[in-house]
């Protein structure tokens, strides 16, 4: 009979995952099935009870059995201490199993949380990659459009504008050789006016095809607007101009502006600096643009012209197409220095100067 009662008592202990639930069941089973009038569970050396049965009882420590983890089973009254020992041992094993399940559950939750974080990062990176692809497509499309516009503008300059200029020049010479009363003079004067008008319209078409950022103030005006945008981000900026400023060919001006735009964009996004200086130097046979920041510069051994660096590649292609040279080097006092030098090949052609643009 005693063995059956003990077996029933042990079977009455739940395989609970919550420690408090198991301890409450232990106190109740020891009291109800093993006949101990008052049973409680406490933490050794701590006041109060973790669990007890009946709830209002105050068990006197007649039997004290350790359960592990600082817990102890306390029973008061008449009962079989051996049965209580067996019940306590079974409860201790269940407690350890419950703690192990709790540890496993915590590990599983941490793993699940990390998996969710990884999935979220993957989702964010996938979205960002999609955005970057869209931006790249847009940038490539804009580059293609701008390149084609510049090609057409240069073609208009090299062909139509120069032809109109030469035609007007020849008509001027013919008119200077004619007597005032010559019957051909009115027709030649009309043709000369048409040539001048065609030259004017050709220049307007060239300007319309140019980068819109250069429409006001030319290269210097465009660079100043780029620097003001950097100032809005908290940078201190300065533009210096050396030599004698003069009109530049459309392709040269556009290329230098795009180099400055890309260099300033990179400095604002990646340099972690506080100041940006742009310098424009005019020389008889070449023009040079330098953009330097005071940021972190290029890490030692870094590959500045990796295939995915489309901005650097685009700068180099624009400058190289005009026979120029592009350098990206560490600055003397830190940061990154971008220098673009483009030869002017000895001439600024008629019909494509910017003297009629408003200077800032």
What would the pLDDT profile of 296-325 be if each residue is shown by its tens digit? Answer: 887 654 545 443 445 788 888 889 988 999
Q: For the stretch 26-60, what's the b/e string if a residue is b when 16 or more beta carbons lie within 10 angstroms of its beta carbon?
A: bbbbbbebbbbebbbbbeeeeeebbbbbeeebebe
Q: Name, of 9-13, 100-104, 153-157, 287-291, the range with top average pLDDT.
A: 287-291
pLDDT of residue 206: 63
> How far is the C-alpha of 300 from the C-alpha of 102, rounded, in Å?
49
Token digits of residue 297: 């510069």
CATH number of 215-360: 3.30.565.10
Per domain, the residue ranges of the chain are 2-103, 215-360
Q: Which neighbouring-strand residues pair with 277?
A: 238, 292
DSSP helix/strand/coil, 146:
helix
CA 188 to centroid of chain Cα atoms? 63
What is residue 309's three-state secondary structure? coil
> Whole-number mean pLDDT of the chain?
81
pLDDT tens digits, 107-138? 888 888 888 888 888 888 888 878 877 776 77
Q: Please count the other Cβ atoms lying within 10 Å of the Cβ belonging to residue 121.
A: 10
Q: For residue 58, give both structure tokens.
A: 């105050």
User: H or E segment at 116?
Assistant: helix 81-155
Q: What is the pLDDT of residues 14-49, one digit of tens each?
A: 876 688 888 999 999 999 888 889 999 999 888 889
Q: Are 17 and 101 in contact (CB under 8 A)?
A: yes
- Nearest-5° angle of CA 307, CA 310, CA 314? 115
Is residue 3 left, alpha or beta, with left meaning phi > 0 and alpha meaning psi from -120 to 50?
alpha
Q: Are the beta carbons of 340 and 288 closer than 8 angstroms? A: yes
| Whole-angstrom distance, CA of residue 98 vs CA of residue 133 | 51
> What would the two tokens of residue 71 be?
């817990």
Q: How far apart are CA 131 and CA 125, in angstroms?
A: 10
pLDDT at residue 214 in the model? 64
């Amino acid at each position: 009979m005693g063995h059956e009662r003990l077996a029933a008592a042990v079977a009455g202990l739940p395989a609970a995952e919550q420690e408090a639930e198991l301890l409450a069941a232990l106190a109740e089973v020891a009291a109800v099935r093993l006949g101990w009038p008052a049973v409680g569970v406490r933490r050794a050396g701590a006041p109060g009870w973790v669990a007890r049965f009946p709830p209002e009882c105050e068990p006197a420590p007649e039997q004290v059995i350790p359960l592990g983890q600082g817990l102890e089973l306390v029973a008061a009254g008449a009962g079989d201490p051996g049965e209580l020992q067996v019940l306590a041992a079974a409860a201790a094993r269940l407690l350890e199993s419950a703690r192990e399940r709790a540890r496993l559950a915590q590990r599983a939750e941490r793993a699940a949380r990390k998996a969710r974080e990884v999935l979220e990062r993957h989702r964010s990176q996938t979205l960002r990659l999609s955005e970057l692809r869209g931006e790249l497509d847009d940038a490539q499309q804009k580059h293609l459009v701008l390149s084609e516009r510049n090609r057409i503008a240069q073609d208009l300059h090299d062909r139509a504008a120069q032809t109109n200029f030469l035609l007007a020049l020849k008509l001027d010479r013919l008119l200077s050789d004619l007597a005032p009363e010559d019957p051909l003079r009115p027709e030649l004067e009309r043709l000369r006016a048409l040539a001048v008008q065609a030259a004017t319209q050709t220049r307007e078409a060239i300007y319309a095809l140019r980068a819109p950022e250069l429409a006001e103030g030319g290269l210097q005006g465009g660079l100043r607007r780029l620097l003001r945008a950097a100032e809005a981000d908290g940078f201190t900026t300065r533009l210096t101009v050396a030599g004698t400023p003069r009109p530049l060919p459309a392709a040269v001006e556009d290329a230098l502006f795009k180099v400055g735009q890309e260099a300033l964009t990179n400095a604002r996004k990646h340099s972690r600096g506080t100041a940006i200086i742009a310098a424009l130097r005019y020389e008889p046979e070449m023009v040079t643009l330098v953009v330097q920041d005071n940021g972190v510069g290029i890490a030692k051994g870094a590959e500045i012209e990796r295939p995915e660096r489309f901005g650097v590649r685009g700068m180099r292609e624009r400058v190289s197409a005009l026979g120029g040279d592009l350098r990206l080097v560490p600055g003397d006092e830190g940061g990154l220095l971008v220098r673009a030098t483009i030869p002017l090949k000895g001439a600024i052609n008629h019909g494509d100067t910017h003297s009629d643009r408003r200077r800032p």
